[in-house]
Structure 1
Amino acid sequence: MKLLIANKNYSSWSLRAWLALRAFDIPFEEETLLLNGEGWKEAMLERSPTGQVPVLIDGDLVIPETLAIIEYVADKFPQKHIWPADRATRARARAASAEMHAGFFRLRNSAPMNLRASHPGRVPLDYVADELDRLQKVWGDMLDRSGGPYLAGSFSGVDAMFAPVATRIRVYELPVADFASEYVEAIYALPAFQEWYGEALKEPWVVEQDEIDFIQGKTQ
């Protein structure tokens, strides 16, 4: 299998799919399609049916979309238990993952993933307050049920889906409860995340349109 990803510093969706494979020791190759440089959009369209990443390639099968990738590898490697074994816990994990996939737009758009950055105070809290509250409600409910340190107890697909949001809380120093801060630290402590994070810090590329100054400049 091969996973097409983008710049590790910026690509939150790539991180999700990559973690779902690496954290469970599923063998795969990775190929980076840059989010910058001459002709990068055209190059992306040549390799991805949606013009976006991640994309998983397994033989003749080409799978875009992060949740579809996670579901595919969970089906292909059932012994890895990418989703929780308990039916009710699994249902909650999938529901939370779908909510992450389809929501939290203000939080995602106003606080872009940027692992090399430190931008305390740059996100308007009144703009993201409702979504930050909802995020903590989802995390709190799941952590109370599982006992942590991850949302379903041990690391699973739902944590892969929320990992980029955890980085936003740290990078922008968003105010959250202690249990949420502890969950962020658990994500950062995950060996697979540490591998991605270390490689992101070494990347030489700067993608202007994904930097907070550019994003806020468009809305002012």
Structure 2
Amino acid sequence: MKLLIANKNYSSWSLRAWLTLRGFEIPFEEELLLLNGEGWKEAMLERSPTGQVPVLIDGDLVIPETLAIIEYVADKYPQKHIWPADRNLRARARAASAEMHAGFTRLRNAAPMNLRASHPGKVSLDYVADDLDRLQKVWGDLLDRSGGPYLGGAFSAVDAMFAPVATRIRVYDLPVPDFAAEYVEAIYALPAFQEWYADALKESWIVEQDEIDFIQGRKQ
């Protein structure tokens, strides 16, 4: 299998799929498609049917959607327990993952993933307050039901889906209760996440449209 990803510093959706594969020790090859440089959009369209990443390629099968990639590998490797084993908890984890995929738009737009950065105080707390409140409820419910330290107890796909949010909390120093801060630390302690993070810190590319100063300046 091959996973097409983008810049590790910025590409939150790439992180979600990659972390699922690496976290469960599923063998795959990664290929980086840059989000910057001359002709990057055209190059992306040549490799991805949607012009976006991640894309999983397995033989003649091409899957260009994060949740679809996760479900495919969960079906292909049932012994890995990529979703929580308990049926009720698994349903809640899938619902939370779908909500992450479609929701939390203010938080995602106002606080782009940028692993090399440190931007405390740069995000309007009033603007993201509802998303942070909802995040607290989603994480709190799953952690209470599973017993932690991850949302499904052991690491699972729902943690991969929320890992980029954990980075936003740290990078922008967003206020969260202690249990959520502990969950952020658990994400950063994952060996697979540490591998991705180390690679991101080594990247030299700057994607201006994903930098907070550019985003805030464009809105003025």
**Which TM-score tier does this pair reach, normalised by the shorter chain?**
over 0.9
Q: Equivalences for 1:113-152 in 2 at 5 Å?
A: 113-152=113-152
Secondary structure (helix, strand or coil) at the match of 2:9 reads coil
Secondary structure (helix, strand or coil) at the match of 1:26 reads coil
The count of aligned residue pairs is 220
Whether 2:190 is the aligned partner of 1:207: answer no
Q: Equivalences for 1:161-176 in 2 at 5 Å?
A: 161-176=161-176
* TM-score normalized with structure 1 length: 1.00
C-alpha displacement of 1:204: 1.0
Question: Can you list the C-alpha shifts for 1:104-158, whole angstroms capped at 9, x where unaligned?
Answer: 0000000000000000000000000001000010000000111100001000000
Correspondence for 2:153? 153
Give, as a single letter, the amino acid of the residue that structure 2 aligns with 1:196. Answer: W
Please provide the CA RMSD for this pair. Answer: 0.3
Unpaired runs of 5+ residues, structure 2, are: none
* TM-score normalized with structure 2 length: 1.00
Whether 2:70 is the aligned partner of 1:70: answer yes
Give, as a single letter, the amino acid of the residue that structure 1 aligns with 2:190. Answer: L
CA distance in 2, matches of 1:177, 1:191: 24
C-alpha displacement of 1:85: 1.0
Correspondence for 1:100? 100
Correspondence for 1:189? 189
CA distance in 2, matches of 1:86, 1:181: 25
Give, as a single letter, the amino acid of the residue that structure 2 aligns with 1:84. Answer: P
CA distance in 2, matches of 1:109, 1:162: 15
Give, as a single letter, the amino acid of the residue that structure 1 aligns with 2:48. Answer: S
Whether 2:59 is the aligned partner of 1:59: answer yes
Q: Equivalences for 1:39-58 in 2 at 5 Å?
A: 39-58=39-58
CA distance in 2, matches of 1:158, 1:31: 24
Unpaired runs of 5+ residues, structure 1, are: none
CA distance in 1, matches of 2:21, 2:146: 22
CA distance in 2, matches of 1:219, 1:149: 38
Secondary structure (helix, strand or coil) at the match of 1:30 reads strand
% identity of equivalent residues: 89
Correspondence for 1:37? 37
CA distance in 1, matches of 2:125, 2:85: 37
C-alpha displacement of 1:65: 0.8
C-alpha displacement of 1:5: 0.1
